[in-house]
Amino acid sequence: MELVHDDGARRIWSARLERPYRFVSPFRGRDFALLLVVIDESISPEEQNWLSSEFVLQGCRSACCAGHACSSWDDSIDWAYLDTCPDLQPQDETFVMTTWHEGESLEDAAWCFIHCSGFDDYVPREFLILCLGGDDSTLRRVLGVVRNALD
């Protein structure tokens, strides 16, 4: 993972994962906002469920999902969050907001990630751009789009 932006108000990290997919948050238990860009079309439901659970368990409070089958990622992160709630009764202080951007441009998803990841009293300071699959040029393209959304 690489720190790609730090303006004092927010720190943005980036990473690209390849199979076997394993996620370790760079934030050591602190809450974070996630831009998930799914490139790999062969991710199994088991891998998706495991990753979604890890995102939530490791502090994801806002997930903006883009790329292949992004609406299913929105759902799986929602279910992963509900699985942490006794009797499916979510607590406001741990709520995870999710969005998906199927059929939308990466620019729209990046704008939402940068400008709409906060909700209620939650204002993210830590942001993670995570590409599942793809190559380094894919990650560089996503980083460029996110940098444009910062302006």
> Tokens at residue 71, please?
């609406």
Average pLDDT value for residue range 17-44? 95
CATH label of the domain that carries residue 42:
3.90.190
Average pLDDT value for residue range 53-60? 96
130: left (phi over 0), alpha (psi -120 to 50) or beta: beta
- CA-to-CA distance for 32 and 125, rounded, in angstroms? 7
- CA-to-CA distance for 24 and 94, rounded, in angstroms? 19
Q: Give the structural domain span for 120.
A: 2-150
Span 84-139, pLDDT tens digits:
987 877 777 889 999 999 999 999 999 999 999 999 888 999 999 999 999 999 99
Q: What is the 3-state secondary structure (H, E, C) of 87-114?
A: HHCCCHHHCCEEEECCCCCHHHHHHHHH
Computed over every residue of the chain, the mean pLDDT equals: 94
Average pLDDT value for residue range 13-40? 95
Q: For residues 36 and 130, is the Cβ–Cβ distance under 8 A?
A: yes
pTM beyond 0.85: the answer is: yes
Per the structure, the count of domains in the chain is 1
